[in-house]
Structure 1
């Protein structure tokens, strides 16, 4: 779809009960998790990953506290003019974030029908990631949340590396990636307010 640079969604990664602030990591299902938000493109390549927040934090709040929100909403950074992301109704409607609509005017019906397929693509993308790295699918047997966060981000990076390696082996393939700015320190798990006190 024109102007779309990716889709955004979250996934919960199970961990052992955290050593500190254990209750913060309990999600609505009663499991200890880290809430991960990611932006991915049409080739299942992740363009942005935040693995910084406990499982009790909502996806909408996580987005507003992320460096992604700072880049697109506050600093008005756009990889190209009229950049938009696709998301579902758990997120707030923003100029750069188009939400799925259960019903839409006839002149927009084709667009939203295409948009309605996004959840299946999201589940497929996260499914490929978790099937490749079984520790994300089952549970990270780690109580140190900063270490767990780093493992999660490494798995996402290795997922991209595998895709890039496969694509680069095709001599006639050319691709231009959408690039967001580098993550700053505020987007690291040991800087988030909920977990910062864990550092001794």
Structure 2
């Protein structure tokens, strides 16, 4: 009887077969890597080394993904923003694996935010001011600030807080950038219903102000075109915020490593966000106008 049971169990056993995975680092040309992942071979290896302490598996049990494979899967999602199933089919992994990798990679990159996103130090401030002055004759400027919306799926909790003025669910992010399109500060946490305060207008000051703001406006456009996933994030706010932070870190890595930030990738056009009416808070108007008038009087 024991022999019969043993044979039956052996007959039921099927060896697990793992699908063959894609190997872009070995198979793709430099141009193909850049088009699919937005980074070259050396850049991808550099990013892998940054997140290796967090993403490295202790064993190869169950055909575990290498750090490089995890990076490629996540970068593919950031670059194209397509469905996890499509990325999984292209990379030779399951949809659930793609989801887990993107989540883990986003947290790992987001943890590096203070390393790659920071206000210019004292020795860099003068050079930053000079570049902004060359751009639009705006004095004493170390950064241009703007807010933009990243669309997400309807949250399960407090859904109404994330509905913006256009009736879509979004997260409002605040970015500060310099003249070289490097992000120097970011806030990624506000629901889409939070107001985006307007900017003042005044003749020559306004003209200079607009020219200087071109840096942050172009930065917003480059960020959304370069990382197409930011156009629509089919995630809940916490996961979406981690993905946004990851893209911000990757943007600064690309800029500092002189990866060409081509903002002409084929992809959806970034939404043009209409200007919001100004929001005035008690007792804040007089100080702001006084500072603006002083700048106009002294420099224009």
Match of 1:149 among 241, 256, 261: 241
SS where residue 17 of structure 1 aligns?
coil
- Using the alignment, how far apart are the partners of 2:146 and 2:219 within structure 1? 11
Partner of residue 167, structure 2 = 30
Deviation, structure 1 residue 100: 4.3
Partner of residue 193, structure 2 = 56
1:123 and 2:199 equivalent?
no
- Using the alignment, how far apart are the partners of 2:229 and 2:206 within structure 1? 35
- Using the alignment, how far apart are the partners of 1:112 and 1:123 within structure 2? 15
- Counting only pairs closer than 5 Å after superposition, residues 8-27 of structure 1 correspond to structure 2 as 8-27=145-164
1:162 and 2:261 equivalent?
no
Partner of residue 201, structure 2 = 101
Contact 1:12 1:35 in 2 (8 A): yes
What does the per-residue CA deviation read over 1:145-185, in whole Å, with 9 as the maximum and x for residues that have no partner?
Answer: 11111110110111000000118xxxxxxxxxxxxxxxxxx
SS where residue 258 of structure 2 aligns?
helix
Deviation, structure 1 residue 119: 4.2
Return 5+ residue gaps in structure 2 as ranges.
1-132, 134-138, 260-300
Partner of residue 184, structure 1 = none
SS where residue 148 of structure 2 aligns?
strand
Report how many residues are paired: 122
- Using the alignment, how far apart are the partners of 1:120 and 1:6 within structure 2? 11
**Structure with more of its chain in strand, by fraction:** 1
Contact 2:144 2:213 in 1 (8 A): no
Partner of residue 56, structure 2 = none
SS where residue 215 of structure 2 aligns?
helix
Structural RMSD (CA) = 1.7
SS where residue 23 of structure 1 aligns?
helix
**Structure with more of its chain in helix, by fraction:** 2
TM-score normalised to structure 1 length: 0.57
SS where residue 166 of structure 1 aligns?
coil
- Counting only pairs closer than 5 Å after superposition, residues 35-50 of structure 1 correspond to structure 2 as 35-50=172-187
1:114 and 2:251 equivalent?
no
Return 5+ residue gaps in structure 1 as ranges.
61-89, 91-98, 104-108, 168-200
SS where residue 13 of structure 1 aligns?
strand
TM-score normalised to structure 2 length: 0.39
SS where residue 116 of structure 1 aligns?
helix
Contact 2:143 2:179 in 1 (8 A): yes
The ranges of structure 1 where at least 4 consecutive aligned residues each deviate by more than 4 angstroms after the TM superposition are none
